[in-house]
Chain A
Amino acid sequence: MTEPAISIRNLTKVFPIPFSRQRVVAVHDLSLSVEPGQVYGLLGPNGSGKSTTMKVVLGLVPPTSGTTEIFGRSSSLVESREEVGFLPENPYFYKYLTGEETLRFFGKLCGLRDPLLRDRTRELLKLVSLEDAANRRLGGYSKGMLQRIGLAQALVQEPRLLVLDEPTAGVDPAGSREIRDLILQFKARGITVLLCSHLLGQVQEICDRIGILHRGRLVCEGRLEDLICVRNQTQLVLENASPAVLERIEAEISASGARLVEKSKPQTTLERFFLEVTK
């Protein structure tokens, strides 16, 4: 049996308020599991406990109670981070480093040495399309470029798990699409992704499974298609159907006792339309 990429069991995290008896329960009795190869969307409004959950999983914050594991190793162990790449929300890397220096620095932290490190750096710069900006300092990078170099550093040690906190926050539609395509590439390569995002449309496009947190509690969890489908309705999309064919179908529907709820032309998304126009 394969071990889950992330296993969270009865996680509770309470933050005491300094100089007060009050406490903030950021996460309450959370249990969930992310299987290898899945893209898991952790959703929820601001303050719902998403970031805290990620920090506990990454060992940045200790849990008040409960356990978290990465590929079977407790998050409290530094070694568990060997398998993880993390991109925080709005990452500010060292502005004085160039793109290449940034990747080399994070590579060294993961134990990589030349010539492997040099090769990996080049490979990742190519992957995120930043070869031309490799020798520019990050202080001069755009928001989208910063997110891409962030993704590259997250991948530097070839992790099996990526934790991405709002990876497209503040990025324009074209940049956002590039990042989404990269995540889909990671998925195709079998990398497990834990994604936190407010962009529900994007989550819907790339996630296999989602969990929704509200006030620190997991209120809903499951396969995306199971959660959002309308169970008693069926959708047919026809191409080049003549009016006569449509008439026959409608008559058949009517005769069977079913009800035609909607008949319309499918629409493209505003994002696709925008990208088409600005290409």
Chain B
Amino acid sequence: MNPASTAKSPSLPRHRMFSCARVGAIAANTLLELVRLKVFYFLLLFALLLVGLALFVMDFKVQEQFQMLKDVSLGAMSIFTWLLSVLATAMLLPKDIEDRTLYTILAKPVPRLEYLLGKLLGVLGLILISTAVMSVLFGALLFARQEIAIADAIRTAGSNLAAGARADIVREIHSQTFTWSLIPAVVAIYLKAALFAALTLLLSTFASSWIFTVVVAVAIYLIGNVEPMVRDYWMSEREVSAGAKIFLALVSLLFPDLQLFNLVDDIVAGNAIPLLLFAKTATLGAIYVLIYFGLAYFMFAKKEL
């Protein structure tokens, strides 16, 4: 080291207004923080739930078994990822401010935008890993039940079953288990959790405590689930003026319509998800994340630390 030199150290690269490497360092550190806080323990709960579910559905008809497996597993995935996104995000900012780690980070040449983006990406990474692990667990359970169902069906049909009939049985059971529609459902679950991560980050930029943030996020979740029903009822009852439409748009921004992200019911019912609907849902989720993150940055940029 030669700190005596008055010129800037030649070993340091030129400062960039935006650096993906800095964002990556903060995101990786956020992910590491959450991992070392042992938040992945909740995946054990999910695994236990699946084991219990597998035992519970054994007495039902094959078709009902698969419907229940998908319904409960995807529903649980949705709740677990949502809960994880809210709880993990709510603590990040207040903890850094309280512990003064934020001062040390922002006293380095790190713009606030990069700090906030790094935090959000860290949480999104955590949710991505969690969703992937839960999907694998769910897939493994579905596969095991599928193979048992195929073996049972072939045994019931008799040992001298023609190859064509055997293939029909396998195809019939496959059509009830692994379908392409499962992918949009899992993506929609991830997007909903991502939306709540961004929303919780926004709340934590001005909340006085993380408990407040969690309570408000839960309230928004509940309102977001019933809001479409109330809105549809209201709009069907009267003529809607332009002012009312603006009001409804604002309400939609504050309380996202979570029913739009609920593709599980269609999938459980065996309906295919149209590509356009999926694209609209994905775009909407991404827009919500961008809007909430933009607002969070607006609040955080002005925040006096």
Q: A and B: partners?
A: yes
Beta-carbon nearest neighbor of B26 in chain A: A109
Residues of chain A lying within 8 A (CB to CB) of residue B103: 55, 58, 60, 86, 88
From B4, B22, B304, A109 is in contact (CB under 8 Å) with B22
Distance of A163 Cα from B103 Cα, bound (Å): 12
**In contact, B99 and A109 (Cβ under 8 angstroms):** no
Residues of chain A lying within 8 A (CB to CB) of residue B12: 82, 110-112, 157-158
- Size category of the B interface is 35 or more
Residues of chain B lying within 8 A (CB to CB) of residue A86: 103-104, 107
Residues of chain B lying within 8 A (CB to CB) of residue A55: 103, 305
Residues of chain B lying within 8 A (CB to CB) of residue A58: 103, 106-107
Beta-carbon nearest neighbor of A123 in chain B: B1
A86-B103, A108-B21, A108-B25 given; A190·B109 CB < 8 A: no
From A91, A111, A189, A190, B19 is in contact (CB under 8 Å) with A111
A60-B305, A88-B100, A157-B12 given; A109·B110 CB < 8 A: yes
**In contact, B4 and A158 (Cβ under 8 angstroms):** no
Residues of chain B lying within 8 A (CB to CB) of residue A183: none
Residues of chain A lying within 8 A (CB to CB) of residue B37: 96
**In contact, A83 and B33 (Cβ under 8 angstroms):** no
Residues of chain A lying within 8 A (CB to CB) of residue B16: 111
Residues of chain B lying within 8 A (CB to CB) of residue A110: 12, 108-109
A178 to chain B, nearest CB (A): 18
From B100, B108, B109, A90 is in contact (CB under 8 Å) with B100
**In contact, A61 and B6 (Cβ under 8 angstroms):** no
Distance of A261 Cα from B5 Cα, bound (Å): 46
**In contact, B105 and A116 (Cβ under 8 angstroms):** no
Residue count of chain A within 8 Å CB distance of chain B: 49
From A59, A82, A153, B104 is in contact (CB under 8 Å) with A153
Per-residue CB proximity of B10-27 to A under 8 Å, as 1/0? 011101110101100110
Residues of chain B lying within 8 A (CB to CB) of residue A81: 107-110
B78 to chain A, nearest CB (A): 29
Distance of A191 Cα from B1 Cα, bound (Å): 11
**In contact, A160 and B6 (Cβ under 8 angstroms):** yes
**In contact, A84 and B104 (Cβ under 8 angstroms):** no
Closest 3 CB pairs of A and B: A190-B4, A86-B107, A108-B25
- List 15 A-B residue pairs with CB atoms under 8 Å apart, sorted by A's residue number: A15-B304, A82-B8, A82-B109, A83-B8, A84-B107, A87-B104, A106-B104, A109-B25, A110-B109, A111-B12, A111-B22, A158-B12, A160-B6, A186-B3, A189-B3
